[in-house]
A and B are shown apart, each in its own frame.
Chain A
């Protein structure tokens, strides 16, 4: 079974600074997808960014980028120019690329605090 580990229960960053959230995963599969989701307080989960394991290029979405290290099974999220609206729980998630195994496996999350 796949596992996802987020070792930082909480991170704090000054507004406009850059922060990196860590995620490691364990799998024996070669074909899979990785995701970062954001869950603001009392609001629904939003997809931030996704990475296909077969792609070497790191995914980027505006101020959000990932550092995907396949051999190390590491998938960190970098948030540049942090804004107050970035405050939320961030979850790293794994999905198998094998047909029929479509559920996401999530880490425990990192609570991101933005200090004004």
Chain B
């Protein structure tokens, strides 16, 4: 296992389109997290799963955002009706104790 992976690494979309990102955690990790990082800022927590249960959601997670982890393994983060303000790096992390981060998906909304 080489760590947390995310796909795609880069996504360019037009305003109003829907996008979906995937995260594959480290296999033995039961917890999975999504963060958003804008330029010059630290990551901001969005949501987290323990196995397939979504246990915590930030107020940053508007109703246009939805995350799933259907079988307690990989997770998807979907953004509907994207806005230019959604442009950011979306980071996934998984943990058993400490959180290990993936390389991120850089979203650009034109």
Contact = CB atoms under 8 A, between A and B. Distances in A.
Interface of A: 4, 35, 37, 43-47, 50, 91, 93, 100-109
B44 A102 contact: no
B91 interface: yes
Contacts of A106: 42-44
Contacts of B101: 37, 44-46
B45 A107 contact: no
A107 B42 contact: yes
Given A44-B104, A45-B91, A104 B41 contact: no
Contacts, number: 53
A101 B56 contact: yes
A108 B40 contact: yes
Contacts of B50: 102
Contact of B42 (A44, A50, A91, A100): A91
Contacts of A91: 42-43
B104 A102 contact: no
Given A44-B101, A44-B104, A47-B100, A105 B45 contact: yes
B102 A44 contact: yes
B98 interface: yes
Contacts of B40: 108-109
B104 A108 contact: no
A46 B43 CA distance: 13
B31 interface: yes
B58 A103 contact: yes
A104 B45 contact: yes
B18 interface: no
